[in-house]
Chain A
């Protein structure tokens, strides 16, 4: 099993450009999450999908949109990138429901917006 995979690993954007970060998991998990990690700030939840077909905002959703494409895939889109969105983005998944609460993280995408 590959676990949680993310593409790309690195990306540089100019202000105003758009891009989509891809995430996939092969563990048959129901819930998926997008976090951003900034120095000294820990991990902050951007959006989550408790189950296929649902998405909800987390702590810091402004400037982002998400799509739960199917049970395996959960993408994060930046419509008009801003320097404040320079960060490391992690996708995570968990079984969801009343099962194990453990979240498994992907390797991350390092995004720089100039």
Chain B
């Protein structure tokens, strides 16, 4: 089955710096790659996602890149702010319906220091 590895497990940056979190997956058939942000004591919330027919997607300060050949995808946060501090999870799935099950990485705790 699918396996998702996420690195680093913790990341500390200064406000205004960029942060990059990387994930690798094992199943070449996976075609949907979301990123979730989870603040302490809250539910995971989708911040950006990408499908396998796209190499990069941006939404303001957040971008995700996908390299299908190498089976890895990354989250890029630019101009970090203290409110970006949270745990970030990547995930992979085979798409919708009964294939829609997400396999999550173990998370990255991002700390943004003012």
Contacts and interface: CB of A to CB of B under 8 A. Distances in A.
A and B interact: yes
Interface of A: 31, 33, 40-45, 48, 50-51, 54, 56, 58-59, 90, 94-108
Given A102-B49, A103-B46, A105-B44, A48 B101 contact: yes
B43 A105 contact: yes
Contacts of A105: 43-45
Contacts of B34: 101-103
A44 B4 CA distance: 12
Interface residues on B, range: 20 to 34
Question: Is chain A's binding surface mostly helix, strand, loop or mixed?
Answer: loop
A42 B105 contact: yes
Contacts of A100: 96
Which 6 A-B residue pairs are closest in the complex by CB-CB distance?
A42-B104, A50-B98, A105-B43, A42-B106, A43-B104, A101-B32
Contacts of A102: 34, 46, 49
B97 interface: yes
B89 interface: yes
Contact of B97 (A98, A103, A106): A98
A2 B102 CA distance: 23
B93 interface: yes
Contacts of B102: 33, 43, 45, 103
Given A48-B101, A102-B46, 16 more contacts: A31-B97, A43-B44, A45-B102, A48-B100, A50-B100, A54-B98, A58-B101, A59-B103, A96-B96, A97-B96, A98-B96, A101-B32, A101-B93, A103-B100, A105-B43, A107-B43
B100 A96 contact: yes
B104 A44 contact: yes
A48 B32 CA distance: 18
Nearest to B99: A50
B31 to A, nearest CB: 9
A50 B6 CA distance: 27
Contacts of B89: 42-43
Nearest to B33: A101
